[in-house]
Amino acid sequence: MFDGFQLEDVALGEVTLRMRHSGHGPAVLLLHGHPRTHATWHKVAPLLAARHTVVCPDLRGYGRSSKPPTRPDHAQASKRVMAADCVALMRHLGHESFSVVGHDRGAYAAFRTAMDHPAQVERLAVLDAVPIVEALERCDTRFAAAWWHWFFFAQPHKPERAILADPDAWYNNTPAKRAQMGEQAYADYQAAIHDPATVHAMLEDYRAGLGIDRAHDEADRAAGRRLSCPLLVLWALRDDMERLYGNPLDVWRPWAGALQGRSLDCGHHMAEERPEELAAALLQFLNEP
């Protein structure tokens, strides 16, 4: 897994991030979603590393990265501090500017990185996500039925107890999932979902999402702030994006000037299900003139 990549723990003040990096050329940062770790990218990252310097961290709170103390407003898990982590990590590696790709919860951290640090982010790719404020404002019975976990995860204490009672049952772990992820990536994911500190920190991500993250999106929109870099949006045909939003590009259009995107014929975890197709789409976007 990640042949040729270097594994490091990087201290960045409040947090230490576990990450892998390799390759040459313009830098690209890959951010995973819930409940994965950076290992979800192990089929995609080597395909990008032929033309790019590729950096894959565990987000704060996830995997084997630090779990900062919980704050009453959940700010320690906000996408704003995750974005600051991203910039600090890339500077540590010598990259003052870079592109960023985010999937699922990592897409929110990637979006916030581009919004808060426009001088650093050259291109942004978002996989299977719309801005948090847009998702919450469009919440209806379809959203509540499909994405009920957003609201359950935001409750105190009970979601930790429910997940940790049987993590494999909660996350629907099956031999097929194990085969799709690959043995080493699956083992990394297993360690994460069975660790009480990691489960709590991952839930804090959702608690921040319903409060402080939404407020940051609302403040940007009220101030008329938009992305200053090109945006690629990719979504899975066999997930909920089109059912909930129609064409996701319509949701993103008020946030971006240079916007493009399309669907991939797969389920939610596209980096694991369609790595070659995803890598090709990303390479085309990252290397456009």
Rounded Cα–Cα distance for residues 169 and 162 (Å): 10
Handedness of CA 199, 132, 32, 266 (dihedral sign): positive
Q: Which residue of the set 92, 117, 240, 268 is catalytic?
A: 268
Angle between helix 183-193 and 196-208 (nearest 10): 80
Q: Is 268 a catalytic residue?
A: yes
Phi-psi region for residue 66, left (φ > 0), alpha (ψ -120 to 50) or beta?
beta
Q: What backbone torsions phi and psi does residue 220 show, to the nearest 5 degrees?
A: -65, -45
Q: Is 104 a catalytic residue?
A: yes
Q: Which residue of the set 104, 116, 188, 217 is catalytic?
A: 104
Positions annotated as catalytic residues are 104, 268
